[in-house]
Amino acid sequence: MGIINKNVPIKNLKDILLSALILVCLGGCVPVEKVPGSGGELIQIKQGNVGRFHELQIGVMNIVRADYVDEAGAKKQGLIAVLSLFVEGNPPQEKDFKVHAGQKITMDKYSVYVEEIRGTVKGLVTLRIDELAKK
């Protein structure tokens, strides 16, 4: 077998390149929203999984693109994650939060900063967790 040298019309070449670009984006373009933070323990949790920090358990229930209101009161659209926080104790505490990148939530003695939300289906969330002063 030898190499066949064949000319490809420019119109077909453009279609081929456009198709390849679309396939790369569909396969590799993952929506990401990131607001870097500092301090605290860095933890990443994939959607459908639970992460643990001392007595705090965090489940990433869902990641979707939706409208939300940021801390300044501005309406925005972007990725939000539904986190389920559970703190062991007597009595134990459990609460769900809808969060966006750059948001900080507190529960019991823990502060959780949402640094990054990546993807929707099979996405992940990057958090920075601090333990606040003991109550």
Q: pLDDT per residue over 3-56, tens digit each?
A: 555 554 555 555 655 555 554 444 456 789 888 888 889 999 999 999 999 999
Does residue 6 fall inside a structural domain? no
Does residue 8 fall inside a structural domain? no
Residue identified by tokens 């229930």 is: 61
**66 C-beta neighbours (distance < 10 Å), count:** 12
What's the number of domains the chain is made of? 1
Does residue 27 fall inside a structural domain? no
Interatomic CA distance for residues 97 and 82, integer angstroms: 6
Q: Which residue range forms the structural domain that includes residue 96? A: 32-131
- Distance linking the first and last C-alpha atoms of the chain: 78
More confident residue, 94 or 30: 94
Contact 22, 47 (CB under 8 A): no
Does residue 10 fall inside a structural domain? no
Evaluate if residue 113 carries a pLDDT over 50. yes
Interatomic CA distance for residues 106 and 124, integer angstroms: 20
